[in-house]
A and B are shown apart, each in its own frame.
Chain A
């Protein structure tokens, strides 16, 4: 079953612009993670934010989490052509026996 739903499905921007992707989920979570997937490749972990955190930064990435609205956003600042990829949010629990549940992803295209 899908847990996270990313919005928009696709996003096209110019280099230097900021890209914002949103993720909504349905059930209670312990943490939310964002992953990146280049075409034809595996997923690479970008950032993890725990349910008791509201905002987290990593380089040009900024993630926010609003547990009351069950939503998260990923902001990529000063985008580059190399940021072109699909971005997925995944929700996780620290309960034994549970796995990350992924959304369908946002496809980001950054043109130079």
Chain B
């Protein structure tokens, strides 16, 4: 059973370009969470999705950021018109149940560098 798969592992974008980060949850998991980690800091919650639904996007910036988790395929975190401040590690986690009564399984992250 493969773990949470994120790709790409490293992504370099020029200012103004779009960044697409993909996350395939563990088999059987229907809950996906995206977090952002700035250097030397903890993880900041961004968005929580279930299949085809956004449950909580309270941590998402209001502009340029969007997320989806379609019925088929991976979850996508999309950042439009990237700026240098978007440079960070973006982690995806998945869980099988409702809420967090159990542990979350994390991917290895995507490190986004905006130049």
Contacts and interface: CB of A to CB of B under 8 A. Distances in A.
Determine if chain A interacts with chain B.
yes
Interface residues of A, number: 27
A104 B99 contact: no
B72 interface: no
Interface stretch (B63-71, B77-85, B104-112): B104-112
A44 interface: yes
Interface in A91-106: 92-105
B100 A42 contact: no
A42 B99 contact: no
Q: For the complex, would chain A's binding face be called helix, strand, loop or mixed by DSSP majority?
A: loop
A94 B100 contact: yes
A77 B99 CA distance: 32
A100 B55 contact: no
Interface string A37-73: 0000111110010000000000000000000000000
A88 interface: yes
B51 to A, nearest CB: 14
Contact of B99 (A35, A90, A94, A101): A94
Nearest to A95: B99
A48 B103 contact: yes
Given A88-B42, A97-B56, A43 B91 contact: yes
A44 B105 CA distance: 7
B100 A97 contact: no
Contacts of B101: 30-31, 92, 94
B99 A45 contact: no
Interface in B23-54: 33, 35, 41-45, 48
Contacts of A2: 42, 44
B98 interface: yes
Interface of A: 2, 30-31, 33, 35, 41-45, 48, 88, 90, 92-105
Given A41-B108, A42-B107, A103-B42, 11 more contacts: A42-B91, A42-B109, A43-B91, A48-B103, A88-B43, A92-B100, A93-B100, A100-B93, A102-B42, A102-B45, A104-B42
